[in-house]
Amino acid sequence: TLMHVGVALLRVGAAEEALETFEKAAYIYENSGQGVHPDLALTLMHVGQAYELEAENVQRVGPKKEWLRQIEEYSNQAYDFYEKALEMFQERVEGNEPDLDVANVVHAMGNVHNIRGEYMEALRKYKYALEHKMKILGEDDPSVGWTKNNIGNAFKGLYKVDEALKWYNEALSTVSKIFGPDHPEVAHVHWNIALCYQTKGEVDASKRKLGWHNSWPFKFFSAATKKRIVHEGKDFEAMVKHLNHAFDVFVKRLGEDHVSTQRATQAIMAVRELVRD
């Protein structure tokens, strides 16, 4: 069906093709002449996910104002569809009973807040979704693990890196038990942990810089040397370990042309330059 095709396209990162497919499905359901189709709300949520992926895939090159405009446009579209889906899901829920579709779309709304840099609101959405998912699915479910991962993303955005790492490691434990170490979902958590260690290095370095800039040797270090000081020691080693794991899985399971593989490749090259310098 169109829905299955669209979901498959989302999984390989083909946002534009997925969007076109889901919009066709939504049009069919809205014009079926049989009242509200039971799959319409889910399809609208998938349209939102395609727009969300478009926002994530915007190339951060050229004038910053332009790519920020594109991200805002796609994320606003995503949120509009999520709100429509949420309203339809909530109409069928009795009282305050937890509902998995409601939890999933609230989680997705948290993703949009995260993209916008609205990390506190993202956390509120994620924690609502996590509470309801755990009531329905228990702790050992990949959906629960992925919400924990995204809570880590929000804490990383707030530069609360130790809290972020706690949530990432919980997520990694959950998805690894289910999928094993060489699954793309697991690799994405390793990727996020690598990014978190990079942020941790930057945060720690910014604290040390106050002392360094008043120390005469630091003034004469090259830019490359300063970067290496920022990312050295155990945190740097942890970053590289998780980055390499993510890269290896992305290449094997998703292929060289997938957006996740391309991003990891750029990061690997940057690390090699850093070490070489």
The pLDDT tens digits of the residues spanning 149-205 come to 999 999 999 999 999 999 999 999 999 999 999 999 999 999 999 999 988 887 776
DSSP 63: -
* Residue 88 contacts residue 40 (beta carbons within 8 Å): yes
Average of per-residue pLDDT across 112-136: 97
Mean pLDDT for the chain overall = 88
The pLDDT tens digits of the residues spanning 23-46 come to 999 999 888 776 667 789 999 999
Residue 140 CB: number of other CB atoms within 10 A? 12
* Residue 186 contacts residue 179 (beta carbons within 8 Å): yes
Calculate Rg over the CA atoms of the chain: 21
* Residue 44 contacts residue 36 (beta carbons within 8 Å): no
Largest Cα–Cα separation, the chain: 77
pLDDT of residue 161: 94
* Residue 154 contacts residue 117 (beta carbons within 8 Å): no
In whole angstroms, how far apart are CA 264 and each of 227, 231, 244, 272? 19, 17, 8, 12
Sign, Cα dihedral of 38, 40, 43, 48: negative
DSSP 204: H
The pLDDT tens digits of the residues spanning 189-202 come to 999 999 999 888 87
pLDDT of residue 203: 75
pLDDT of residue 61: 85
CA distance 103 to 127: 10
Q: What global pTM score does this model have?
A: 0.86
CA distance 81 to 2: 18
CA distance 222 to 196: 25
CA distance 142 to 202: 31
* Residue 126 contacts residue 165 (beta carbons within 8 Å): no
